A and B are shown apart, each in its own frame.
Chain A
Amino acid sequence: MKKAAIISELQREILLLQGFKPANSLVVDKGLGPLKAAFPNASFPLGAVHEFISTDAESMAATSGFMSGLLSILMGKDGILIWISTSRKLFPPALRSFGLFPDRIIFIDAQREKDVIWAMDEALKCGVLTAVVGEIKEIDFTVSRRLQLAVEQSKVTGFILRHNPRALNTTACVSRWRIRPIPSEAIDDLPGIGLPQWKVELLRIRNGQPGIWSIKWMDGKFVSGREWSERSLENTGSAIQKKAG
């Protein structure tokens, strides 16, 4: 028992040396619900770049929904967000239902992917912002390393949304997520569509514990959803766990 305490204390110190400080506000971690346990020190890594993968329009919507929820927890009432993309389909008014204030978001619609990366690099260096989202399809290790370096100075959190990437190459990002929509639960057995619900896969997290969750967005928080045990899901899940292991 004592030994375990010493080890966890040492682990925490190593994380500090590696630049993973616990988030300074507990509010951030409160909203994370079941996801919290996966992160190092049980707190969401701020001042880092996170990578999200989506494959089709449906999962793109789910990913941006999950991301908006995460961002709204990070931003609170008075954060500023920059959203950079080349072909933006995001519908600003809908962000409000994920707790974001769309008028506190600045959208940059660049022409080329190269410009998105440049703009993201510039924006990540600006300490006023809470977070920067970049819709980048292909990113190589060098670029992701550059973004990571920018972030370490300014403590801004970066999100990269990769829609339909050619290959899942190695990046310097702190985590890699994949989110898919799953059937929603009826609220109090009422007909119609329930709360947004996703299968959240945390494929990789530095110094943390990857995992798969069924998550729904309720009252401005992530909450554990109903166990979604379809066979196909289990299959992909075990495959991923094998890879991660």
Chain B
Amino acid sequence: MQRRYVSIWFPHLITDWFSNRQPYLRDLPFVICAPSHGRMMITAANQAVMKNGITRGMVLADARAILPSLEVLDDKPGLPDKLLLRIAEWCIRFTPGAAADPPDGLLLDVTGCSHLWGGDHRYVEEIGRKLRERGYSIRIAIADTIGAAWAVARFGNSSPVVKTAQHVEALLDLPPEALRLEEPTVERLHKLGLDRISKFIHIPRATLRRRFGNHFLMRLDTACGHETEVLHFVQPIVPYYERLPCLEPIATATGIAIALERLLNALCARLQQDQKGLRTAVFSGYRSDGKVEKLQIETNSPTYSVKHLFRLFENKLPSIEPALGIELFVLEAPKVEDHFPVQEKLWETSGNLDDIRLAELIDRLSVKLGPQTIHRYLPDEHYWPERSYKPAGSLQELTTATWKDDGQRPLQLLPVPERIEVTAPIPDYPPMLFRFHDKVHKVIRADGPERIEQEWWLQQGQHRDYYRVEDEAGNRYWLFRSGHYSDKAHQWFIHGFFP
């Protein structure tokens, strides 16, 4: 498809913004100033001032001499970028691909958009009208290349619409500034008498490169469409995106649920066709008062099942506040993965960790309880009990380490070992008595010690001597002594319970 671009130029972006906010300024001559090198420099001037020959870059004192009635306002640093970004976001109503073009323009990728407004002329007029209504003076052009649209918007005298494949002709009459060149290059071109693009466009490339450098040729090529230019859109375009505008604002829970179901049906049909499954989905509702309500869900495995996704959203739907009503629903899938349909089994057996039903269950649990509550563990090669297992990243993950089944570890482990008092008269023998929670336990049988050293490369500290002990009632405990028996500072702890 032939690409089409729109360039919008705001000759008085900043002053227009100020006069929109303070309408009394509209007819007054005023300038925006910022201090620079100890004097006040003009950074923007409105139309009334420009007529008197005052331009940006002049010193304020000089301008006052020309026009004593001049109003002066303080500059706001970073304002143009912020304004352009906001206007570019607003322009998404005309095309999904809108980009800011600092310092004072916008670029829109409108490929395949203008026919929705009934042709290029009407499209451009509509954009111009809407922006002028908002109080901005603009110049606009549409062409096949970014460079040509930019040039015609700023320097063109005739129609703002450059017809398909006529962008080079449109450029011929324009001055070299229209090519977005650097200041010295433009000056040199004028000095050489090359004050129209038509005068140098046919000069051999080798000559042009030698005199004006590669940048000049690059600009010429992009304007003529020999090279493509890339725009950085203000909102990245999500390939899987569905929208549902509503005739009347929707404010009921049932209405929202219906909207969600329709969007899911449309999106999942597309995903299924492309053999993709979504991992993340964002459902947003644009409220009539300008706020946006958002819900996000994540899945553990790619899926395009409408029923499953609807259930995931269902739990969160009550958190949407429709206020006066939602005008537009949007469902997007920022993260998709390949998802090939699996053959349905003749009969289903239980016990497969990559079973889709398990993944769906985990999704439901994680949506309600939060993903941090769900754990699966894998063995880890450490003797230190707290480090002998690690959380797994996914349901399918496996390691080469194996679980030990020697029965040396307690089934219930205290999260933090608790201090106990013991009677242990013989060094390196298990204690005879110990007191835990104000109850004295007499040790009848015991195993140990099992010495577990600290892994010095992970943590400093005392080693532990573990004992498995059984008291006279048959309760089995896991005790340890932190440090050597001979150390005065050694301490006894209980760490777990054996079954």
**Stretch touching chain B among A58-66, A139-147, A203-211:** A58-66
CB distance from B136 to the nearest CB of A (A): 52
Most buried by A among B444, B472, B499: B499
Which chain A residue lies CB-closest to B475?
A: A58
Q: Is A57 positioned at the interface, with any CB of B under 8 Å from its CB?
A: yes
Give every chain A residue within 8 A of B413 (Cβ-Cβ): 89-91, 94
- With contacts A64-B412, A182-B474, A193-B468 taken as known, whether A80 is within 8 angstroms of B444 at the C-beta atoms is no
Number of B positions contacting A (CB below 8 A): 57
How far does the alpha carbon of A181 sit from the alpha carbon of B374 in the complex, in Å?
31
- Interface hits, B458-499 → A, CB 8 Å: 468-470, 472-477, 496-499
> Residues of A with Cβ closer than 8 Å to B?
57-58, 60-66, 68, 75, 78-80, 89-98, 101-111, 115, 118-119, 122-123, 126-130, 180-184, 186, 191-194, 196-198, 217
8 A–B contact pairs at CB < 8 A?
A: A91-B410, A92-B377, A115-B369, A129-B350, A129-B358, A180-B474, A181-B499, A182-B474
- With contacts A80-B350, A197-B474 taken as known, whether A91 is within 8 angstroms of B385 at the C-beta atoms is yes
Contact indicator per residue, chain B 406-441, by CB within 8 Å of chain A (1) or not (0)? 110111111100000000000000000000000000
How far does the alpha carbon of A64 sit from the alpha carbon of B404 in the complex, in Å?
18
How far does the alpha carbon of A89 sit from the alpha carbon of B415 in the complex, in Å?
7
B389 touching A102 by the CB < 8 A rule?
A: yes
Q: Is B4 positioned at the interface, with any CB of A under 8 Å from its CB?
A: no
Give every chain B residue within 8 A of A95 (Cβ-Cβ): 411
Give every chain A residue within 8 A of B352 (Cβ-Cβ): 78, 80, 128
Instruction: Known pairs A108-B374, A128-B361; list 9 more (Cβ under 8 Å).
Output: A60-B412, A63-B499, A80-B352, A97-B405, A108-B375, A110-B373, A118-B368, A126-B358, A193-B446
Which chain B residue lies CB-closest to A106?
A: B376
Which chain A residue lies CB-closest to B403?
A: A96
B358 touching A80 by the CB < 8 A rule?
A: yes
Which chain B residue lies CB-closest to A184?
A: B470
Which chain A residue lies CB-closest to B406?
A: A97
A103 touching B406 by the CB < 8 A rule?
A: no
Q: Is B338 positioned at the interface, with any CB of A under 8 Å from its CB?
A: no
- With contacts A64-B412, A128-B350 taken as known, whether A93 is within 8 angstroms of B369 at the C-beta atoms is no
CB distance from B414 to the nearest CB of A (A): 7
How far does the alpha carbon of A103 sit from the alpha carbon of B47 in the complex, in Å?
73
CB distance from B64 to the nearest CB of A (A): 68
A109 touching B373 by the CB < 8 A rule?
A: yes
A183 touching B365 by the CB < 8 A rule?
A: no
B409 touching A79 by the CB < 8 A rule?
A: no
CB distance from B344 to the nearest CB of A (A): 15
A107 touching B376 by the CB < 8 A rule?
A: yes
Give every chain A residue within 8 A of B369 (Cβ-Cβ): 108, 110-111, 115, 119
Instruction: Choose from B407, B472, B477 the contact partner of A97 (Cβ within 8 Å).
Output: B407
Which chain B residue lies CB-closest to A155?
A: B350
Give every chain B residue within 8 A of A68 (Cβ-Cβ): 411, 499
Give every chain A residue within 8 A of B246 (Cβ-Cβ): none
Contact indicator per residue, chain B 26-44, by CB within 8 Å of chain A (1) or not (0)? 0000000000000000000
CB distance from B440 to the nearest CB of A (A): 15
B379 touching A93 by the CB < 8 A rule?
A: yes
Which chain B residue lies CB-closest to A182?
A: B474
A93 touching B410 by the CB < 8 A rule?
A: no
B496 touching A91 by the CB < 8 A rule?
A: yes
CB distance from A2 to the nearest CB of B (A): 40
Give every chain A residue within 8 A of B361 (Cβ-Cβ): 122-123, 126, 128-129
CB distance from A106 to the nearest CB of B (A): 5
A183 touching B385 by the CB < 8 A rule?
A: no
Q: Is B282 positioned at the interface, with any CB of A under 8 Å from its CB?
A: no
B405 touching A80 by the CB < 8 A rule?
A: no
B357 touching A91 by the CB < 8 A rule?
A: no
A184 touching B358 by the CB < 8 A rule?
A: no
How far does the alpha carbon of A63 sit from the alpha carbon of B351 in the complex, in Å?
24
